[in-house]
Amino acid sequence: MKITSLEDLRKIKASATDQTSARSEGKTRIIIGLGTCGIAAGARAVMEAVLEELSKRGLKDVSVEGTGCIGMCQQEPLLDVIRPGEPRITYGLVTVQDVPRIVSEHLVNGRIVEDRLIGRAD
Amino acid sequence: MVSAIGEVPQKTLEILEPWRGRKGFLIPVLQAVQHAFGYVPKEAIEVISREMKMPTAEIYGVVTFYAQFHLKPRGRHIIRVCRGTACHVRGSLKLLQKVKEMLKVEENGTTEDLRFTLEPVACLGACGLAPVMMIDEDTHGRLVPDKLGPIMDQYA
Amino acid sequence: MPTYRSHVLVCGGTGCVAGGSQIVQARMKEELVKKGLDKEVLVVQTGCHGMCELGPIVVVYPEGTFYTRVQPDDVKLIVEEHLYKGRVVEKLLYKPSEKMESVKHYNELPFYAKQHRIALRNCGYINPDNIEEYIARDGYQALAKVLKEMTPDDVINEMKTSGLRGRGGGGFPTGMKWEFCKKSVSDKKYTICNADEGDPGAFMDRSILEGDPHSVLEGMAIGAFAMGADEGYIYCRAEYPLAIKRLKTAIAQAEEYGLLGRNIMGTNFSFEIHIKEGAGAFVCGEETALMASIEGERGMPRPRPPFPANKGLWAKPSNINNVETWANVSPIIINGGAWYASMGTEKSKGTKVFALTGKVKNTGLVEVPMGITIREIIFDLGGGIINDKAFKAAQIGGPSGGCLTEAHLDTPVDYESLTAAGAIMGSGGLVIMDEETCMVDVAKFFLEFTQRESCGKCVPCREGTKQMLLTLERITRGEGTMEDLDKLEELAVMVKESSLCGLGQTAPNPVLTTLRYFRHEYEAHIREKTCPAKACAALIQYIVNPDLCRKCGLCAKNCPVTCISGDRQTPYVIDQSKCIKCGTCLEVCPFKAIRKE
């Protein structure tokens, strides 16, 4: 495709920025516990559901990170959400069915999903 | 580097074809000739001279000026031992001596079986890995004399 | 387009490739498929991160985890632990020293903390073979701005405001150079990129070409627009095959997107770029010699005037800048000349890339603001001298530069201060030397280089460097006289003042600075016939200490000239008349029974 205007360049930039968004910082982070117990409790499925939900909603500015065991194995799968400038919210016993709710309520609208909330840290 | 010597005039003509009527052709043409034969054969220089109406003296002048061009056949693999500053302070002279000993050739010399040609070069630009050598297009870094044998064995 | 939660960046610079990064990358892809992670983790090959010493380098995003010296066998661990289970692989992290904690994040490395990356902004961060990644990082925005909103004079004024000076060594103000070329009236003009990085010890240009080729293409297009050129050449040395390959890909992609070629971005501006491969001659880094070489002739310098801005390539007005200079152009256009001028010192603005090598802990490329001290570069970024030996000298500016001493460590790095100290900024090679480096040997080493590369056109350079070299060889053999030192100095000044081009004019610098700051070492070679650093082969000998020798015979077995004799009963002895002083015996002795003196 030939670029003939600033508009063309901006379009390519926007789509290319999505491609490299995993490498940028200062945005919403989702952190999923992927220790042995987390995976045993279904954290991989939760992570896949998160990725699917994000791409369905076209949410590009969210990074999905894995982390090791946090030590609250009975609460696995654990999923943390950190929105810029807000405290770290930890959800426990997260299921695949909970994922769309967490994404639409918390990530998009900023409302914490109280029935899965197990902790917050500044 | 596969063409036989008998094909030199024909192959040189092919290399020249796209350059007819264009300026600045000599160095790219010589590079292509060398790529095809591994060196610049006398026969190729004669063809270039005749076809491009350029004195052979001028072509020889250019060939001998640049370190990259060779008038004699070279080995199948080119070993370039870096003699840059960073490699020098990290012991490249010792490496060079070791390679010379192993191959029984002098600098810019070729082994009798035409397997290797040894060339010291000014700098390969991989100073972070000093001392460094290149065999063909592969760069080998953080060398010590003991590593040389196994590395050279990879090139038949 | 699928969303990848994680990007794994594998360095594909020459240094890391030599360390096996291609295999690491292939193995990474295999392991991801095996673990079923290939749909959520993307593997990207990037250019050089500048920390070649620690290569192969792998960075995992979004965490930004920085893994070093990654071997193919480590890949499985990274995939299973980090990418599958989210646990950082501690053993592959970088540890600045035994006492310090290992560094997890890219930005926490002391090596990067003091850097300010402008020319290297994308190196190690984007895939150089993908133009879209460059565009995502504001690539070609500057070219768009220039074509749509600026006049050639606006561009030149912005460059003048920035204070950018030629990064290839000369340090001539870039804006002024462009203005001269613009004012030259002609039907045809050329812009040229000097990528014939020949200084031993410098590799920043290679890194930029390999890691961010589009930054050079965009800079050249902007320059061509400002000066009214429609054709450009990149003269790249043949020793950089990877750089040439990446450039070719980049040019093809830019043409496909209409960012090079005819009617760029739908305007009347057309510009095409050709690549010329060098043929191995250091002197071709000199601009007039480089143009002669593009024309297909022997690469010999031509007297100036006429200057290239009036009569350059094929006698048409031409402009030459080096790779690093071109890579700085786009950020200046986007952020403004004043932004660039806010960094650096009064006369040297912006940042400079240095290739930090030699006996320093962290070797690699560093881009720092002008005005930083040499001490900060060596000890803060470079981590100090290997094995904590004593610092002796910093050789700055390549074979045209000079050696600076401990007394200069607090010299701010800018064009004027370095020249005043007898060195030059040059292309930015910074080779660190410790107590084991002999300064006479270093001077001889550089002179061997310049003498070999002298093109032979003018007498002072051709004959002068040869005579200087012969004198230095005499001194390092212990055959020099005190008169030699005076003659050497006289000859050096003559060559410096009367040579035709930069090669000859700067070739004596290593000799002059070592004579100035390390005269005592020369005198030791002459008067006492000793080499204080124990580096000059003719002035040292290897001796077996019979008290320590355990008669294992390893030295004799490894000696290339069989000059060591002894057996199970008698301690081994080295025959000094046959010894070639290769030092092998000292290296192989397990009991440290052999010493050098």
Judgement on whether residues C138 and C281 belong to the same structural domain of the protein: yes
Judgement on whether residues C307 and C241 belong to the same structural domain of the protein: yes
In a domain, C504, yes or no: yes
Please tell me if residue C392 touches chain B, with a CB cutoff of 8 Å: no
Q: Residue C141: which residues within 8 A CB-CB, separation 6 or more?
A: A9, A13, C330, C334
Residues of B in contact with C358 (CB under 8 A): 85-86, 89-90, 130
In a domain, C346, yes or no: no
What is the three-class DSSP state of C162?
A: helix
Q: How many residues does chain B have?
A: 156
CA distance B18 to C3: 46
Residues of A in contact with C4 (CB under 8 A): 22
A11 Cα to chain C: minimum distance (Å)? 10
Judgement on whether residues C295 and C158 belong to the same structural domain of the protein: yes
Nearest by CB to C298, from B61, B86, B137: name it.
B61
* DSSP-derived secondary structure letter, B119: E
* More confident: C565 or A21: C565
- Pairwise CB contact (< 8 Å): C280 & B128: no
pLDDT values of chain C reduced to their tens digit, one per residue, 597 residues: 467 888 999 998 878 888 889 999 999 999 999 998 998 899 999 988 878 778 899 999 888 889 999 999 999 999 999 998 888 898 899 876 666 667 767 667 777 778 899 999 998 889 999 999 999 999 999 999 999 999 999 999 999 999 999 998 889 999 999 999 999 999 999 999 999 988 877 889 998 999 999 999 999 999 999 999 999 999 998 888 889 999 999 999 999 999 999 999 999 999 999 999 998 888 998 999 999 999 999 999 999 899 999 999 999 999 999 999 999 999 999 999 999 999 999 999 999 999 988 888 888 889 999 999 999 999 998 889 988 889 999 999 888 888 999 999 999 999 999 988 888 888 888 989 998 889 999 999 889 989 988 999 999 999 999 999 999 999 999 999 999 999 999 999 999 999 999 899 999 999 999 999 999 999 999 999 999 998 888 898 899 999 899 889 888 888 877 889 988 888 899 999 888 887 888 888 898 899 988
Is A22's pLDDT higher than 90? no
Please tell me if residue C295 touches chain B, with a CB cutoff of 8 Å: yes
Query: In Å, how far are C9, C42, C61 from C6, measured between CA atoms?
Result: 10, 6, 5
CA C499 to chain centre: 26
CA distance B150 to C272: 45
Residues of C in contact with B101 (CB under 8 A): 560
- Cβ atoms within 10 Å of A33's Cβ, excluding its own: 30
Confidence of residue A102 (pLDDT cuts 50, 70, 90): very high
Judgement on whether residues C465 and C571 belong to the same structural domain of the protein: no
CA distance C367 to C118: 8
Q: What is the CATH number of the domain that holds C406?
A: 3.10.20.600
* pLDDT recorded at residue C2: 61
Question: Hey, which bits of chain B come out as E strands?
Answer: 77-82, 116-121, 133-135, 138-140
In a domain, C205, yes or no: yes
Residues of B in contact with C14 (CB under 8 A): 125-126, 139
Domains of chain B (ranges; CATH) run: 7-65 (no CATH), 77-153 (3.40.30.10)
CA distance A111 to A104: 9
CA distance B67 to B31: 12
Judgement on whether residues C179 and C239 belong to the same structural domain of the protein: yes
Q: What are residue C188's phi and psi, to 5 degrees?
A: -145, 135
- Cβ atoms within 10 Å of C453's Cβ, excluding its own: 21
Residues of A in contact with C147 (CB under 8 A): none
C525 Cα to chain B: minimum distance (Å)? 19
First-to-last alpha carbon distance for chain A, in angstroms, is 47
- Pairwise CB contact (< 8 Å): A65 & C133: no
What single letter denotes the amino acid at residue C589?
A: C
Nearest by CB to C7, from A22, A29, A47: name it.
A22
CA distance C476 to A36: 65
Judgement on whether residues C20 and C52 belong to the same structural domain of the protein: yes
Judgement on whether residues C194 and C258 belong to the same structural domain of the protein: yes
- Pairwise CB contact (< 8 Å): A67 & C86: yes
The two tokens of residue C155 are 């561009």
CA distance C552 to C554: 6
Low-confidence stretches of chain B (pLDDT beneath 50): 1-2
CA distance C449 to C442: 11
Sequence-ordered alpha helix ranges (H) in C4-63: 14-18, 21-34
> Angle formed by the axes of helices B42-52 and B26-37, to 10°?
150
* pLDDT recorded at residue B4: 64
CA distance C448 to B120: 13
Of the candidates A85, A1, A98, the residue with the CA atom closest to the CA atom of residue A45: A98
Contact C271, C264 (CB under 8 A): yes
CA distance C209 to C48: 10
Judgement on whether residues C334 and C209 belong to the same structural domain of the protein: yes
Q: What is the CATH number of the domain that holds C18?
A: 3.40.30.10
Is A65's pLDDT higher than 90? no
Q: What are residue C111's phi and psi, to 5 degrees?
A: -60, -35
CA distance C485 to C505: 20
CA distance C349 to C415: 10
In a domain, C105, yes or no: yes
| Domain tally, chain C | 5
Q: How many residues does chain A have?
A: 122
In a domain, C33, yes or no: yes
Judgement on whether residues C149 and C97 belong to the same structural domain of the protein: no
In a domain, C294, yes or no: yes
In a domain, C576, yes or no: yes
Task: Supply the range of the domain harboring residue C99.
Answer: 6-113
CA B119 to chain centre: 8
CA distance C50 to C116: 13
Judgement on whether residues C163 and C248 belong to the same structural domain of the protein: yes
CA distance C325 to C288: 18
CA distance C479 to C481: 7
ipTM: 0.81
Judgement on whether residues C33 and C71 belong to the same structural domain of the protein: yes
Judgement on whether residues C208 and C293 belong to the same structural domain of the protein: yes
Contact C45, C129 (CB under 8 A): yes
Q: What is the CATH number of the domain that holds C447?
A: 1.20.1440.230
**Chain A meets chain B (3+ C-beta pairs below 8 A):** no
Q: What is the CATH number of the domain that holds C545?
A: 3.30.70.20
Q: What is the CATH number of the domain that holds C297?
A: 3.40.50.11540
Please tell me if residue A16 touches chain C, with a CB cutoff of 8 Å: yes
Of the candidates C8, C153, C156, C154, the residue with the CA atom closest to the CA atom of residue C82: C8
Q: What are residue C542's phi and psi, to 5 degrees?
A: -100, 135
In a domain, C121, yes or no: no
Contact C447, C511 (CB under 8 A): yes
CA distance B50 to B57: 12
B30 Cα to chain C: minimum distance (Å)? 10
CA distance C202 to C322: 13
3-state secondary structure C419-450: HHCCCCCCCCEEEEEECCCCHHHHHHHHHHHH
Residues of A in contact with C126 (CB under 8 A): 20
Question: Hey, which bits of C350-405 come out as E strands?
Answer: 351-358, 364-369, 391-396, 402-405
* pLDDT recorded at residue C3: 72
